């Protein structure tokens, strides 16, 4: 049974970690605070006839003391509202890290360059954005998708990263996701009865490594949502409903508005994973009672209909299959984005194969 314990991160730090943090602050420009003039306090109304003369005298004195070039250089800063300046800075930072739906290979490049200080800085910023609510669960997942491209050399670099920053959340999350995916790759997509035992054994070996990394990461940040999301995958492959329920409860408490963990859990309730359509319907009803948004409920329904369509097709009932494929893709159109590609594997594959002639294909 999985014991889910999420600790407050960095409760205790070793001397080596403290030294590293000092190095981080001193060496990485992203940790430095930008200094700018404090601004000009608002002058009181000039009630006296000689007020303007006194103001001119003050300005003249300022020019003599600090020089005209400096005053001219700070003029744009003084003229710009503080909120506008902050907005521009935030926008630039966001573009550098989250430029598109898959995001640039920014973090992976830092890993391969061996720049663990900058890499740790960037991944902590990303996790921090998620934990304060300025980054969604889907955006967080998409950010880390670039690490699906890692190889054995990259794994060695990650071990160096761990040695440099023992309490790094991302340095444990990334190999956890890698070995989880590797386990599913070696298993293949055939039913369990058609999968060689050797493949199943290898999957379990990889998933054991993945579980160790992901469970370690749970202790290293306040909201390890992505770790829980990937542990749900492993629990599904092991057929552990008890673990799955514990994980989905933790994910929903951590991020009540999430769709990723709910969608993954919904998939684990399908008959092909040992569940039933009645269990799937009950979970939709339960999610509605918990206040899940309409778009979240639509996603859960679409996942169920997609699975139902494939079940009917396997039974040779093409008419019923087409009906449920239609329902699934109609709902997916309402969700938009990559939802269908990510969560409706059967209708997505059938369209790719040309087996559906519906308008959504």
Q: Where are the domains of the chain?
A: 92-257, 269-361
> What confidence tens digit (pLDDT) does each residue in 19-48 have?
333 333 333 433 333 333 333 333 333 333
pLDDT at 67 over 70: no
| CATH architecture type of domain 92-257 | Alpha Horseshoe (1.25)
CA–CA distance, 330 with 358 (Å, rounded to integer): 10
User: Between these two residues, 113 and 80, which has the higher pLDDT value?
Assistant: 113
pLDDT for 168 equals 98
Give the pLDDT confidence score for residue 78 in this predicted structure: 29
- Section 330-339 average pLDDT: 94
Higher pLDDT, 312 or 354: 312
pLDDT tens digits, one per residue of 232-287: 999 999 989 999 999 999 999 999 999 999 999 999 999 988 899 999 999 999 99
The lowest-confidence range among 49-53, 208-212, 310-314 is 49-53
Q: In the predicted model, is pLDDT for residue 356 greater than 80?
A: no
Least confident of 57-66, 104-113, 211-220, 224-233: 57-66
Is residue 7's pLDDT more than 60? Answer: no
Question: What's the whole-model pTM score?
Answer: 0.71
As a whole number, the mean pLDDT across the chain is: 77
Q: Give the residue among 174, 173, 98 at the shortest CA–CA distance from 134.
A: 98
Spatial distance between the Cα atoms of 158 and 151, rounded to a whole number of angstroms: 11
Query: For a pLDDT cut of 70, what percent of the chain falls above it?
Result: 68
For the chain, the residue count is: 361
- Structure confidence at residue 263 (pLDDT): 98
* pLDDT value of residue 22: 33
Specify the pLDDT at position 105: 56
Q: With 50 as the cut, is the pLDDT of residue 318 above it?
A: yes
pLDDT digits (tens, 9 = 90+) for 151-187: 999 999 999 999 999 999 999 999 999 999 999 999 9
Percent of the chain residues past pLDDT 90, beyond the cut:
63
pLDDT number for residue 195 = 86
pLDDT band at 355 (very low <50, low <70, confident <90, very high): low
């Amino acid at each position: 049974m999985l014991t889910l314990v999420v600790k407050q991160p960095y409760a205790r730090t070793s001397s080596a970690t403290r030294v590293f943090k000092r190095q981080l602050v001193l060496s990485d420009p992203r940790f430095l605070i930008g200094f700018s003039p404090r601004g000009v306090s608002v002058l009181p109304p000039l009630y006296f006839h000689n007020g303007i003369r006194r103001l001119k005298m003050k300005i003249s004195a300022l020019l003599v003391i600090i020089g005209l070039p400096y005053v001219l250089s700070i003029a744009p800063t003084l003229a710009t509202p503080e909120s506008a300046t902050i907005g521009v800075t935030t926008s630039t930072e966001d573009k550098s890290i989250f430029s598109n739906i898959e995001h640039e290979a920014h973090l992976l490049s830092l890993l391969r360059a061996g720049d663990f200080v900058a890499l740790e800085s960037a991944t902590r910023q990303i996790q921090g954005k998620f934990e304060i609510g300025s980054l969604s669960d889907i955006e967080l997942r998409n950010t880390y998708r670039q690490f699906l491209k890692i190889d054995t050399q990259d794994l060695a670099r990650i071990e160096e990263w761990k040695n440099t920053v023992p309490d790094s959340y991302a340095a444990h999350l990334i190999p956890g996701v890698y070995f989880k995916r590797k386990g599913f790759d070696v298993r293949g997509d055939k039913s369990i009865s058609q999968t060689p035992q050797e493949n199943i054994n290898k999957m379990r070996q990889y998933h054991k490594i993945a579980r160790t990394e992901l469970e370690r990461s749970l202790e290293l940040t306040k909201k390890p949502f992505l770790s829980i999301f990937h542990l749900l995958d492993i629990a599904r492959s092991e057929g552990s409903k008890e673990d799955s329920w514990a994980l989905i409860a933790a994910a929903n408490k951590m991020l009540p508005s999430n769709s990723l963990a709910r969608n993954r859990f919904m998939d684990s309730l399908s008959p092909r994973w040992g569940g039933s359509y009645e269990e799937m319907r009950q979970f939709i009803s339960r999610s509605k009672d918990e206040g899940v948004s309409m778009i979240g409920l639509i996603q859960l329904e679409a996942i169920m209909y997609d699975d139902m369509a494939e079940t009917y097709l396997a039974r040779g009932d093409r008419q019923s299959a087409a009906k449920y494929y239609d329902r699934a893709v109609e709902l997916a159109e309402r969700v938009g984005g990559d939802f269908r590609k990510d969560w409706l594997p059967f209708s997505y594959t059938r369209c790719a194969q040309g087996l559906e002639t519906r308008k959504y294909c």
